[in-house]
Amino acid sequence: MKRLTLITLVLAFVVIQLGAFTRLTDAGLGCPDWPGCYGFLTVPSAEHVAVAEARYPERPVEAAKAWAEMVHRYVAGALGLMILALALLALKTPGPKRLPWALVGLVVFQAALGMWTVTLNLLPVVVMGHLLGGFAIFSLLFLLWLRQKPNELDLNPLKVLALTALVVLVGQIMLGGWTSANYAALVCTQLPICEGEWLQNLAPAQAFQPLPPPADSYEFGVLDYPARMTIHVSHRIGAVLTTVVLALLWWRLRGSGAQRPAAVLGALLLLQLALGIANVVGSLPLPVAVAHNGGAALLLLALVWINYLAWRTPRLA
């Protein structure tokens, strides 16, 4: 059970990174239908392109984008089957029972979000929800794995700070997802904040409305520059706040003698900051942007681990 959980956890990380690659290469509508692709089970072959484009004349076949989308779906489907296997295995083995089945329910909802991402033409709130769903599955799989091993540390005195740090990080991940879903990652090209008179152009009401103006498609974004700039600046300000809170937690962890969690948290925080700066300086290079997404997922796991140590009674093997 423990080994299968770990394998499933690794596969979940792969799915998250494939999702980021699909989103960042503008391949979210590489297949305009769901769950197939232009009415086929796989990307249309050369002899089927004409049929596919007749079915969806508004979206000519782009094989590279279609394959990116379908590979993501195939691997996500495999992940769903593995999580179902975990839930069935949990019925026959000692250990957590409810969490594996909660994961099954979350996978079903995540599949629905994947469908709505396509059928609603990349509606930002759905795209962000799909990203958060992937992160939630990843986190709960990690929690399931933690529950199957000894808990050797007692971080109970830090539980309030640890929970605060987790909430702040989740908020920052939501801002990052909203930035990506609204194609706002490149609207500010200078550091530390944004070029021009950004303060006078802030438009929070437009930037954070759950439902944007109606559009045939939300691919490449529909918000104007002030709204996108507001989203981008908010994500940068959130990064500063998140850094301060997580750095404080790192300092307290070191003071409490929890050197390993402190080292992991500090290393991931520095890596994520470096990747964020590199995204701005390099105008969102694809490998760096995908790595930034993965760094956020790993940083989230670090906070889940620290909260697990802080909120549960230590138990030995």
Rounded Cα–Cα distance for residues 272 and 291 (Å): 9
Average pLDDT, integer, range 93-107: 88
Which of the four pLDDT bands, split at 50, 70 and 90, describes residue 314?
A: low
In terms of domains, do 143 and 158 share one? no
CA pair distance 285, 282, nearest whole angstrom:
6
**Average pLDDT, rounded, for the chain:** 92
Q: Which residue has the tokens 């779906």?
A: 73
| 313, pLDDT greater than 80 | no
Which residues form the domain of 138? 1-149
pLDDT level of residue 133 (50, 70, 90 thresholds) = very high
Domain identity same for 159 and 227? yes
Could you tell me if 52 and 102 lie in one domain? yes
Specify whether 111 is located in the same domain as 182.
no
Shared domain check, 180 and 107: no
**Residue range 91-113: average pLDDT?**
90
**Distance between CA atoms of residues 101 and 291, nearest Å:** 30
Tell me: pLDDT of 212 over 90.
Answer: no
Asked whether the predicted pLDDT for residue 286 surpasses 80, the reply is yes
Q: Are residues 295 and 158 in the same domain?
A: yes
Q: Is the pLDDT of residue 21 over 50?
A: yes
Is 181 found in the same domain as 145? no
Task: Verify that 60 and 166 share a domain, yes or no.
Answer: no
Is pLDDT above 60 for 316?
no
Looking at the fold, whether 306 and 158 belong to one and the same domain comes out as yes
What is the model's pLDDT at position 197?
Answer: 81
Domain's final residue, options 104, 131, 149: 149
One domain, residues 196 and 121: no
Q: Total domain count for the chain? A: 2
How far is 27 from 68, CA to CA, in rounded Å? 7
Residue 301 has pLDDT above 80, yes or no: yes
Give the whole-number percent of the chain exceeding pLDDT 90.
81
Q: Which residue has the tokens 């250990």?
A: 95
Whether 234 and 137 share a structural domain: no
Last residue of a domain, one of 149, 173, 194: 149
Of 87, 119, 149, the domain-final residue: 149
Kindly list the catalytic residues: 69
Regarding whether 300 and 175 lie in a shared domain, the answer is yes
Predicted confidence at residue 97, as pLDDT, reads 82
